[in-house]
Amino acid sequence: MEQTELTLDKFEEASEVVKRVTADTKLIYSEHFSRMTGNKVYLKPENMQVTGAYKIRGAYYKISTLTEEERQRGLITASAGNHAQGVAYAARVYGCKAVIVMPTTTPLIKVERTRNYGAEVVLYGDVYDDACAKALELAAENGYTFIHPFDDLTVATGQGTIAMEIVKELPLVDYILVPIGGGGLATGISTLTKMLNPKIKVIGVEPAGANCLQVSLEKGEVTTLPSVNTIADGTAVKRPGEKIFPYLQKNLDDVITVSDEELVVAFLDMVENHKMIVENSGLLTVAALKHLNCRDKKVAAVMSGGNMDVITMSSVVQNGLIARDRIFTVSVLLPDRPGELVRVSSVIADKKGNVIKLEHNQFYSTNRNAAVELRITLEAFGTEHKKEILAALEDAGFNPKLAHTNL
């Protein structure tokens, strides 16, 4: 029987049930982010779950409440990846068939891992919403039991078990930051948190290019975005859930949006300071830390997942280094005569710059004796070091101009 409301009894039941399959993701105190924000920041590393994301909680709890007949008909869902793996894993535990419809844009690692758990994968559409429509169509055709990734109160109850763990471990937490795609995780966490302690503020975080809940809350009704555009593929949702929307209206204290550029920098911060891989959607809360208008508060940031393919990772790292002025490209014009390249190299070497790549364009000008262009891609320690190198090149008469970095 479908759950019709979120209750403390159900949250307590779910908290016990999910322990069968979840890792114990203890809070991690972050010295780096605490120092950066002036708050005491604790990270909830759901990227360390067996399927690489929190979604195992809601999927497993939902499937545990189904009848044997509902399970044996086969399960179907739509997902950009993490819910897919949660359903596939839980279906394998219960020994039933799982069909997962995923957007064609889903990172390969999520597709392959879902198949590895024994699920049948159907790739369809560009975004989650397209895949969901296809999944509902297949469910009707084949009699499968549909497991909604977020607009389901039982699934949201499973996700809310995270709040139980946070509050037990850090009873005096002031803020809990939670990523938002369709809103299931935020529904579970915000509703249970307010039941346990109404004084705790729960802040939702969305990508700026997929802020469907923020728009819906402003309009006072569930609203569909015309399109979404974000590197946070796990939260690229056009429309929040209808069933869960009233809970979000009631229990969320605010919604913050962050840009893709902020996510890129947050990825680099997480790798360098915590040696952890967290996917872009999971980094929404980390990127939002500096948007909080408070100090000396205890803040828990839920890092929802860590399923990121290596190619995406490589691109994010490179763009993060560029955004942090750790890599930059400078263009200088030189007379085409022996010794000029050595002279430029010496200036850079004296300032401890590290040359990564050189591009020598002899055809920049028709008068090669007057000028050839040298594009130098450099590694620096950060913004101040970059400024020092540029100033040294200027003092040496090279008139450096910053250029687009193409690694």
Question: Which pair of tokens denotes residue 58?
Answer: 């809601």
The size of the chain, in residues, is 407
- Residue 64 CA to residue 291 CA, distance in Å, equals 39
In terms of C-beta density within 10 A (0-12 exposed, 13-18 middle, 19 or more buried), how is residue 191 classed?
A: buried
CA distance 65 to 71: 10
User: CA-CA distance, 139 to 214, in Å (whole number)?
Assistant: 30
CA–CA separation, 274 and 268 (whole Å): 10
Q: Which residue shows structure tokens 């908290």?
A: 15
Among residues 30, 64, 79, 304, the one annotated as catalytic is 304
CA nearest 147: which of 71, 25, 59, 278? 59
CA distance 189 to 245: 13
Asked if residues 372 and 362 have their Cβ atoms less than 8 Å apart, the reply is yes
What is the CA 387 to chain-centroid distance, rounded?
A: 32
Of the CA atoms within 13 Å of residue 227, those in its CB half-sphere come to 3
Q: Is 55 a catalytic residue?
A: yes
Query: Among residues 10, 40, 44, 55, which one is catalytic?
Result: 55
Strand order through the sheet with 75-78: 120-123, 98-102, 75-78, 145-146
Structure tokens at 217: 């809350």
Query: Which residues does 381 contact at the CB level (< 8 Å), separation at least 6?
Result: 326, 352
Structure tokens at 116: 């590895």
Euclidean distance between CA atoms 214 and 185, whole angstroms: 15
Q: In what order do the strands lie in the sheet with 354-361?
A: 354-361, 372-379, 327-334, 401-403
Select from 20, 62, 241, 81 the least CA-distant residue to 146. Answer: 62
How far apart CA 304 and CA 294 sit, in angstroms, is 23
Active site positions, annotated:
55, 304
